[in-house]
């Protein structure tokens, strides 16, 4: 469910007409809907019945300050993966105790910043990191709550580039090694190991891999408890998929995911935390673009739009498909044609869709790529010296640019010629 719908013949974000935004902001731009984000947040929160749960939004999926501020206002915690994200969420209003620090290669400087900031939990991904953190915490006179992130050897059945829980992946500690590391962690000063963390991948569209991983986590928790460890907290990661391609089988609903979680962990008496990213923001954002050129070749008609792979990387990176719709609502009997939807970047992988049938497009038409709120702006770059595109937040009838397009001068501000070339 989202709040990007046609009203009076044009696409709106809640009550704001998209053509008005395009005229004022210029294309391409991202547009986020507060009501959609709130709805997803509430639905996910409600999925776990009476279980004691907490949400830590995965910041990497959408690090926009306004989005983070909304989530902080609603009481969400945050899952961060860098020192930059830590500083960002603190600025957005996060409470330190509601921050979980994940990440496979945290630097000593990042760990120190996290310990000094009193983050609620640090997820340890290797024995080496465990020792570094213990030394650091001891030096700073602190005790840090830690989880060991296990790699449960479960294939998430998602795109290879976003699966994280198999033996081949760099993430987590092999689950068979975890008990031994737990014993070591318990013996180290400055660490308070009470939790187990797991995250097996992203855009997962089947409950089975989640359940397989969660059963392993439960077994591990029971085993460690039998040894006398006080395991009172499980961090179950994110990864639940969202519908991108509306002709495919839809991913499980949060309620089904919640029912499975209750089945696995219902009587364990552990606090459970979740790190959803995509599920909360994916549907809450669209990318608005303009058709720049229509080019008819011998085999195909190319619709070249002004958004490129540098603005929305997912199709090039993950073979992802985003539904594209015209901003002006087509008549029911509108003529249609087959298009290759591509961007202006000088790469053949700069392609959003192949052989899609759409109502006939004209140059200058506005189009919207849907479900672009997660890993969209977050992964964008300035490749081809294209400025990062603006982000707009809508709330009812209100809207604001929450990240503006930089000027060329701002883009160049970090460049300097060496003295011998100046």
CA distance 228 to 214: 21
Q: Given the rule CB under 6 A, which of 39-47, 58-66, 217-225, 250-258 is the region that contacts ligand PLP?
A: 58-66
Binds ligand PLP by CB under 6 A, chosen from 278, 314, 322, 403: 278
Q: What is the largest CA-CA distance in the chain?
A: 72
Residue number with CB closer to ligand PLP (253 or 400): 253
Residues β-bridged to residue 4: 13
Q: Shortest Cβ distance from residue 356 to ligand PLP (Å)?
A: 25
CA distance 399 to 340: 32
Residues 6+ apart with CB under 8 A from 420: none
Does position 252 interact with ligand PLP (CB under 6 A)? The reply is: no
Give the 3-state secondary structure of residue 173: strand
CA distance 191 to 15: 50
Q: Report the first-to-last Cα separation within the chain, whole angstroms.
A: 55
Residue number with CB closer to ligand PLP (36 or 61): 61
Does position 110 interact with ligand PLP (CB under 6 A)? The reply is: no
User: Does the annotation mark 346 as catalytic?
Assistant: yes
And the tokens for 209?
Answer: 């891999």
CA distance 42 to 74: 9
Does position 276 interact with ligand PLP (CB under 6 A)? The reply is: yes
Q: Given the rule CB under 6 A, which of 187-195, 220-228, 232-240, 312-320 is the region that contacts ligand PLP?
A: 232-240
x/- mask, ligand PLP, residues 348-387, rule CB under 6 A, reads --------------------------x-------------
CA distance 239 to 378: 17
Angle between helix 83-92 and helix 108-116 axes, rounded to 10 deg: 30
And the tokens for 360?
Answer: 């006939």
Residue number with CB closer to ligand PLP (70 or 291): 70
Site for ligand PLP in 112-151 (CB under 6 A): none
Site for ligand PLP in 199-218 (CB under 6 A): 199, 202
CA distance 226 to 208: 27
Q: Given the rule CB under 6 A, which of 126-134, 254-262, 273-281, 383-391 is the region that contacts ligand PLP?
A: 273-281
Binds ligand PLP by CB under 6 A, chosen from 120, 193, 237, 285: 237
x/- mask, ligand PLP, residues 286-325, rule CB under 6 A, reads ----------------------------------------
Residues 6+ apart with CB under 8 A from 249: 205
- A 10 A CB-CB count for 253 gives 12
Closest CA to 42 of 268, 258, 313, 205: 258
Q: Shortest Cβ distance from residue 279 to ligand PLP (Å)?
A: 6
- A 10 A CB-CB count for 58 gives 30
Query: How many residues make up the chain in this entry?
Result: 422
Residues β-bridged to residue 233: 195, 271
Q: Given the rule CB under 6 A, which of 20-28, 207-215, 235-243, 345-353 is the region that contacts ligand PLP?
A: 235-243
Does position 79 interact with ligand PLP (CB under 6 A)? The reply is: yes
Residues 6+ apart with CB under 8 A from 152: 165, 172, 175, 198, 200, 212, 213, 216, 217
Does position 61 interact with ligand PLP (CB under 6 A)? The reply is: yes
Q: Shortest Cβ distance from residue 202 to ligand PLP (Å)?
A: 3
Residue number with CB closer to ligand PLP (343 or 376): 376
Does position 60 interact with ligand PLP (CB under 6 A)? The reply is: yes
Binds ligand PLP by CB under 6 A, chosen from 221, 264, 270, 279: 279
Does position 277 interact with ligand PLP (CB under 6 A)? The reply is: yes
Does position 172 interact with ligand PLP (CB under 6 A)? The reply is: no
Indicate which residues carry an active-site annotation.
346
Per CB under 6 A, residues contacting ligand PLP are 58, 60-61, 79, 102, 199, 202, 237-239, 275-279, 374
């Amino acid at each position: 469910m989202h709040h990007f719908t046609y009203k009076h013949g044009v696409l709106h974000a809640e009550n704001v007409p998209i053509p008005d935004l395009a005229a004022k902001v210029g294309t391409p731009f991202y547009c986020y809907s507060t009501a959609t984000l709130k709805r997803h947040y509430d639905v996910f929160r409600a999925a776990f019945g009476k279980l004691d749960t907490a949400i830590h939004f995965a910041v990497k999926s959408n690090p926009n300050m306004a989005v983070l501020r909304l989530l902080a206002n609603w009481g969400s915690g945050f899952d961060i993966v860098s020192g930059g994200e830590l500083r960002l969420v603190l600025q957005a209003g996060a409470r330190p105790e509601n921050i979980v620090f994940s990440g496979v290669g945290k630097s000593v400087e990042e760990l120190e910043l996290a310990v000094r900031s009193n983050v609620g939990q640090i997820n340890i991904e290797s024995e080496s990191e465990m020792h570094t953190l213990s030394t650091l915490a001891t030096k700073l006179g602190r005790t840090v709550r830690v989880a060991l992130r296990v790699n449960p050897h479960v294939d998430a059945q998602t795109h290879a580039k976003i699966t994280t829980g198999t033996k081949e992946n760099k993430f987590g500690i092999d689950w068979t090694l975890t008990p031994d590391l737990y014993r070591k962690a318990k013996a180290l000063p400055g660490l308070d190991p009470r939790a187990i963390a797991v995250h097996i991948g992203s855009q997962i569209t089947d409950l089975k891999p989640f359940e397989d991983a969660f059963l392993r986590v439960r077994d591990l928790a029971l085993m460690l408890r039998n040894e006398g460890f006080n395991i009172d907290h499980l961090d179950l990661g994110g990864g639940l998929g969202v519908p991108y391609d509306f002709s495919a089988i839809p991913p499980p609903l949060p309620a089904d995911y919640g029912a499975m979680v209750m089945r696995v962990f219902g009587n364990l008496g552990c606090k459970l935390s979740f790190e959803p990213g995509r599920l909360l923001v994916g549907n809450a954002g669209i990318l608005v673009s303009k058709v720049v050129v229509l080019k008819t070749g011998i085999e195909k008609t190319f619709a070249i739009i002004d958004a490129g792979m540098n603005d929305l990387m997912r199709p090039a990176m993950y073979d992802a498909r985003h539904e594209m719709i015209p901003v002006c609502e087509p008549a029911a009997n509108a003529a249609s044609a087959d298009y290759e939807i591509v961007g202006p970047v000088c790469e053949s992988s700069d392609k959003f869709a192949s052989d899609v049938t759409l109502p006939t497009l004209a140059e200058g038409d506005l189009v919207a790529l849907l479900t672009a709120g997660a890993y969209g702006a977050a992964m964008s770059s300035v490749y081809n010296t294209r400025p990062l595109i603006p982000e707009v937040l809508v709330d009812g009838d209100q809207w604001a640019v929450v990240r503006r397009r930089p000027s060329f001068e701002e883009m160049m501000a970090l460049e300097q010629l060496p003295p011998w070339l100046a």
